[in-house]
Amino acid sequence: MALYEMRKFVAPEFIFGVGSRRRVGFYAKNMMARRVFIVSDAGVIAAGWLKDVLDDLAEFGIESVVFKDLTPNPKDYEVMSGAELYARERCDVIVALGGGSVIDCAKAIGVVHTNEIDVREFEGIDKIELPGPPLICIPTTAGTAADVSQFCIIVNSDERYKMAIISKTVVPDVALIDPETTTTMAPYLTACTGLDALTHAIEAYVSTASSPVADVHALEAIRLVWNNLEEAVLSPDRLEARENMLLASLQAGLAFSNASLGAVHALAHSLGGYLDLPHGECNALLLEHVTRFNMTSAVERFRKVGEAIGIDPRGMGEQELSRRITEALSSLRRRVGIVDALAARGVSESDIPQLTRHAINDACLVTNPRRVVVGDVRAIYGEAL
């Protein structure tokens, strides 16, 4: 009998390291780009990173058009408007320069352009027929790993929830992962994106679709976040901590893109879309509660998670292990400045039925280690208030 289940592993070409963003002109030229469509946002542009990209493309004689009309949780209509501009400007390659929102928006613009249908048609798993144009990603945050994943998260603005679009057609062609670009992140954004990476790694490791290859990346990502996040938040200019956090984001991305996620993300997608809250903040506030819920179905896996965050689980029963891990997660969250709970962010008991309606249909629940029913989702939201 085979020891391991059959699993596939998908990853783009990527370059990791200081200065890698400077390879954008070279890669665009290799893709025979004549007119590049750059997706970015006001914060990234203000930080000065766009100028580098424009200079590098110009050096290779490549024209560019900038699209920046998107919000921190990209909406379906923003994607449609970007796709319209892409077609009108006759672009041929997309460069995404920014955090997860920018990269997700760029991915969606590409597949809307080639398939010529509304972005809402892509919700779910493997619903995209044609891949988008060539896509180069330069992440400026350390957490979402949208630059290496087959996930794309877009807000359905009519119903106010985040759609999960999962397809290997949205895996970028190249990711230029440069720690220098993360040095301009504000401390709170550093904390939120760092806890997003931690959530990716933990959920991928306990996922029902985990694999030996994904496990290696997931456990290393947990260790890296645990040992570097506080320093990255408190000393933003320390490049070593920034490098390690971006490496954690990359490793967690390789893990979850292939092993998928779980209930934390399903609940966070609904919550973030409904209240327009930062995705990493939603994950941070839900992680300890979902961990407690999942413990009974993945005790041995959580023992390894415990070891990765410095807990010695030997001789510990399930309840003690659950208590120690959830306390450690809660303590880290508070130490990096993500305090209080959902109620302090405007969530009330009366919002729970609406939040539950979308969370229970999220594709991420498929691989949660413990089966989740409507009552469970309501209870977890209630605990997190």
What is the average pLDDT across 252-257? 98
In this prediction, residue 2 has a pLDDT band, given cuts at 50, 70 and 90, of confident
Q: How many C-beta atoms lie closer than 10 Å to residue 210's C-beta?
A: 24
Per-residue model confidence as pLDDT tens digits over 83-100:
999 999 999 999 999 999
Q: Where are the domains of the chain?
A: 13-182, 187-384
Question: Which of 3.40.225.10, 3.10.20.600, 1.20.1090.10, 1.10.260.40 would CATH assign to domain 187-384?
Answer: 1.20.1090.10
Per-residue model confidence as pLDDT tens digits over 111-150:
999 999 999 999 999 999 999 999 999 999 999 999 999 9
219 Cβ neighbours under 8 A, 6+ residues apart:
201, 205, 304, 305, 308
Contact between residue 9 and residue 258 where contact means Cβ atoms under 8 Å apart: yes
Which element (helix H / strand E) includes 259? helix 239-259
Closest to 202 measured CA to CA, from 113, 134, 262: 262
Q: Does the structural domain 13-182 have CATH classification 3.40.50.720?
A: no
The pLDDT value given to residue 1: 79
E strands within 167-224?
174-177
Per-residue model confidence as pLDDT tens digits over 195-244:
999 999 999 999 999 999 999 999 999 999 999 999 999 999 899 999 99
Q: Which residue has the tokens 């991915």?
A: 107
Per-residue model confidence as pLDDT tens digits over 353-370:
999 999 999 999 999 999
User: If you average pLDDT over every residue of the chain, what do you get?
Assistant: 97
pTM of the entire structure? 0.97
Burial 322-354 (b: 16+ CB within 10 A, else e): bebbbebbbebbeebebeeebeeeebeeebbee
